[in-house]
Amino acid sequence: MELSKGSIVEDLCRWKDLYIQNRRDEGLANRSVTIYSGVIDELAEYSRQHQDEVALKDLNAFYVNAFLNEKAAKSTKGFGNTSRKLYMNVIKGYFKFISENNIESVDLLYQLRNLNDA
């Protein structure tokens, strides 16, 4: 599938639908599917404010860290290391899926190699 067809938000949502269906097909529990979907939706919502400046191929560790830092700053319930690691694992898995399935062979996972673990 083409890496990008529209804005960053449209592309994240388009890929999310395929990724979530793939995870369901692999037998991921419904609760996990809900969590994965929510994390990707939050990344898409964060990206809405940057959609005129950034494309899917531009996403990197700096961008994802900025998303996670904003999430932590806005969290009223707390956003500790465990939550951060969960978000990073979901995002890395999502980007791996996109990397393996886009016809342009853009490796988004490689761009996350410097993503902080905590």
- Which segments in the chain show pLDDT lower than 50? 118
- At residue 89, the pLDDT reads 94
- At residue 82, the pLDDT reads 92
Q: How far apart are CA 3 and CA 105, in angstroms?
A: 8
- At residue 118, the pLDDT reads 44
